[in-house]
Amino acid sequence: MPEEESIKKSHPDEFLIRPCHLYKEEFHECERPKGRFHQYFIYGDYLDCNQWQKDIKNCNLWKESGDEQAYEELIASERKRRFERLKPHYQNDVWKKRDKPPENWNAPLPEWFEERNKNSYLAIKARDIRNGTVDDFDMKIYNACSIL
């Protein structure tokens, strides 16, 4: 255990590294005709897929032999990719960013809104769940996990 903790302390950003097979999938997605068509449609040009190939090599080096140089390059690549993905968010000057929610974020809904939605499907199901009058079929659906 102490050995495992020292590894975590010496590589605090390891959580940024994806499983190696995902780099391979991203590279193939980037290179295939459908991906190229999408790139041309969105960006007006083809993207350079070489970084995905470098990441595959670095990931394998890091996972198999613990190569520190590969680790550093992989972390730098992931950080750059994350920054590029979030660049529009950082450059946004339209919306004011806030530190806490508004004071009345959980205030009761207006009466007209409650009246309008009292017989909606969601309101009926919520009422049934609160009262414990849900049948077995509904509970199977309710407990199901769906990732969109």
- Contact partners, residue 65, CB within 8 Å, separation at least 6: none
Q: In terms of domains, do 13 and 49 share one?
A: yes
Q: In terms of domains, do 87 and 133 share one?
A: no
Query: Residue 134 has what pLDDT?
Result: 74
In a domain, 51, yes or no: yes
Q: What pTM, to 2 d.p., does this model score?
A: 0.62
Query: Is the sign of the CA dihedral 27, 54, 60, 71 positive or negative?
Result: negative
> How many domains is the chain partitioned into structurally?
2
Is residue 27 within 8 Å of residue 52, measured between CB atoms?
Answer: yes
135: tokens are 């049948």
In a domain, 98, yes or no: no
Q: In terms of domains, do 65 and 125 share one?
A: no
Q: In terms of domains, do 19 and 52 share one?
A: yes
Region for 96 from its dihedrals, namely left if φ exceeds 0, alpha if ψ lies in -120 to 50, beta otherwise: beta
State the Rg of the chain over Cα: 24
In a domain, 96, yes or no: no
In a domain, 105, yes or no: no
Q: Per-residue pLDDT for the chain (148 aa), expressed as one digit of tens each?
A: 445 555 556 889 999 999 999 999 999 999 999 999 999 999 999 999 999 999 999 999 999 999 999 999 999 999 999 999 999 998 988 988 889 999 999 998 899 998 998 889 888 888 888 888 877 666 666 555 656 5
Distance CA 67, CA 62 (A): 5
Residue span of the structural domain in which 134 resides: 111-142
Burial class of 62 by CB neighbour count within 10 A (0 to 12, 13 to 18, 19+): buried
Q: In terms of domains, do 67 and 131 share one?
A: no
Q: In terms of domains, do 18 and 87 share one?
A: yes
In a domain, 100, yes or no: no
Q: In terms of domains, do 21 and 83 share one?
A: yes
Phi, psi of 83 (to 5 degrees): -65, -45
In a domain, 148, yes or no: no
In a domain, 27, yes or no: yes
Q: In terms of domains, do 21 and 81 share one?
A: yes
Residue 100: how many CB atoms within 10 A of its CB?
Answer: 6
Element (H, E) at 60: helix 50-65
